[in-house]
A and B are shown apart, each in its own frame.
Chain A
């Protein structure tokens, strides 16, 4: 696995900037959401401190702090427009692709600041891969070329190594048995569910530490959805998974921890509650979470 030499965590004796202070940026009604629901000693893959994000002058999320447990599945739920996708796109610096986009706060990947000067965003995106709502295999490439694309981009040239890693990625994505007899067929010739698993294979081929999944099943039928969900549980043994979903049963089925985000009066998304998935779906502590997951929101 290629590891990056990102900048270290800020030295502990260095004062925190104002934007990183605990209550900074969040209104009082959202200030109590604890950023760490996991037991003491749980390894942390990613720490987000007081993260805010803008599209031009429009603030999309405000003051969100969360620690993401390593080798676990963390789900983000909330109504449309509450900033779930924006938040996870900050984790791998994809938010900055949007025109006039801006991020504040700190995001630490294995303790290193992904926004520190000198960090290559492309390398961050290799460590924090992403799977999107709609399967998006490269249309002109075969199954094997799709999975190999990321490896080639990383500079892997050895054919045997590429072949081995493609096979391993397709096996991990539970797609190998379905495509091994015809690896040269175009990726877009696969079914929707297979295409999404191909995209997952492409993502994990470059051996990321974190995989972001932005509504990965919303374009799939129920059978394909359940396959991806099973796959997620398996992948969590090797990777840290963060999933954005509107399907609350899906969040309840696949995740270990769940965060509920909501747009506040300032028009920005805030963190309302972040707990173990069992707690969120059987006994949420915040009435707004209760109202949302029981379908009585609004």
Chain B
């Protein structure tokens, strides 16, 4: 009795998690490019596409619940399915934060180009790298890599502080930039939340592999 069908079902669900992850990653990258280029129409399409991300998340959730009901999983199987349910929630929220950045660009559309985004592109690069690393750790069941994600999260937090400093200085120096700098602060906040969600994914990786809940999102910074 090897449960081939059940194993195939779990593999299929893991593949679907990666599909959702790539949708979230594309949303982050696109929202930053649209912001950089001041492309309001692109941002509107990103906002529209967030529905597809939500739909995919609910499809995976429905499938997971059916598998739980029909297969009555135990032990590592149960942890794998529970982890999927949590990870897809984090991925969907990551895409929501990307959608938030797209909405900021729609509001900023009258701001002149080229946009000076300061440390925001660096934050985005690191957040996307964290997303990729967390999903790689998930698929490879790599607990050590999952724990190391904290260091990258600290770096994102540092960059957010730098964005904050720059924006405050800019507002003080030229009050006419208050609205634009406030929007940039929101953008940085969205990216910081994306990084936090990646640490949540890594906590689920650790739980799935070891069976132990471990809080890794404790900043040393």
Contact = CB atoms under 8 A, between A and B. Distances in A.
Nearest to B72: A249
B211 A295 contact: no
A262 to B, nearest CB: 15
A44 B72 CA distance: 32
Contacts of B77: 294
Interface residues of B, number: 15
A283 B3 CA distance: 19
A3 to B, nearest CB: 40
A282 interface: yes
Interface in A266-298: 281-284, 289-290, 293-298
Contacts of A295: 1, 3, 6
Contact of A290 (B2, B76, B212): B76
A182 B79 CA distance: 50
Given A282-B211, A283-B79, A248 B1 contact: no
Contacts of A297: 1
B84 to A, nearest CB: 16
Interface in B70-84: 72-79
A61 B115 CA distance: 77
B54 to A, nearest CB: 30
A252 interface: yes
B74 A296 contact: no
Interface in B206-221: 210-212
Given A282-B211, A283-B211, A296 B3 contact: yes
Contacts of A296: 1-3
A295 B74 CA distance: 9
A298 B3 contact: no
A248 B77 CA distance: 14
A169 to B, nearest CB: 34
B1 A282 contact: no
Contacts of B78: 281-282
Interface in A239-258: 248-249, 252
A278 to B, nearest CB: 11
Nearest to A289: B75
B1 A294 contact: no
B1 A298 contact: yes
B3 A294 contact: yes
Contact of B73 (A283, A284, A294): A294
A128 to B, nearest CB: 30
A296 B76 CA distance: 12
A282 B3 CA distance: 18
Interface of B: 1-3, 6, 72-79, 210-212
15 contacts: A248-B72, A248-B74, A281-B74, A281-B78, A282-B211, A283-B75, A283-B210, A283-B211, A289-B75, A290-B76, A294-B73, A295-B1, A296-B1, A296-B2, A298-B1
Given A283-B79, A289-B75, 7 more contacts: A281-B78, A282-B79, A283-B212, A290-B76, A294-B73, A295-B6, A298-B1
